[in-house]
């Protein structure tokens, strides 16, 4: 059996006992009594309840916002006044499958992805 490390002060005060500095003893636990079916289900109830609350507070509203944004992007038409992700306001000049040409000033158009549209403004907002 290899010799274990014992600090010098421990040898001076307790010469017969060696201290295990980095190794802790592991003891076996006694077997738990068999629980009934209802008791084991009650253990998982807080976890299930937490997932239900998270679904209604976080996941469901986010899915609703994604659905509304997708519908807004699909409904874009030429002449709509939009706000782009960087805060740029402009009027839609051309529409491709995945790109928009947005007129931000007279004879100045920028090309952006459709998904970068944050908001469709009411007509007459952009002059």
Residuewise pLDDT in 10s, the chain (127 residues): 566 665 555 555 555 555 556 777 778 777 666 556 677 778 889 999 999 999 999 999 999 999 999 999 999 999 999 999 989 999 999 999 999 999 999 999 999 999 999 999 999 888 7
Dist. CA 28–CA 72, nearest whole Å: 62
Dist. CA 75–CA 42, nearest whole Å: 49
What pairing do the DSSP bridges indicate for beta strands 108-113 and 117-121? Answer: unpaired
Closest CA to 118 of 73, 78, 61, 80: 73
How confident is the model over 67-98, as pLDDT tens digits?
999 999 999 999 999 999 989 999 999 999 99
User: Could you report how far apart the first and last alpha carbons of the chain are, in Å?
Assistant: 88
pTM (2 decimals)?
0.61
């Amino acid at each position: 059996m290899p010799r274990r490390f014992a600090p010098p002060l421990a040898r001076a005060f307790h010469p017969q006992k060696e201290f295990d500095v980095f190794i802790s003893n592991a003891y076996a636990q006694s077997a738990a009594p068999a629980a009934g079916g209802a008791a084991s289900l009650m253990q998982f109830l807080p976890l299930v309840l937490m997932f239900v609350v998270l679904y209604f507070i976080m996941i469901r509203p986010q899915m609703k916002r994604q659905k509304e944004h997708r519908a807004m992007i699909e409904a874009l038409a030429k002449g709509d006044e939009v706000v782009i992700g960087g805060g740029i306001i402009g009027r839609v000049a051309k529409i491709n499958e995945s790109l928009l040409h947005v007129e931000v000033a007279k004879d100045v158009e920028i090309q952006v992805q459709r998904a970068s549209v944050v908001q469709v403004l009411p007509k007459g907002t952009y002059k």
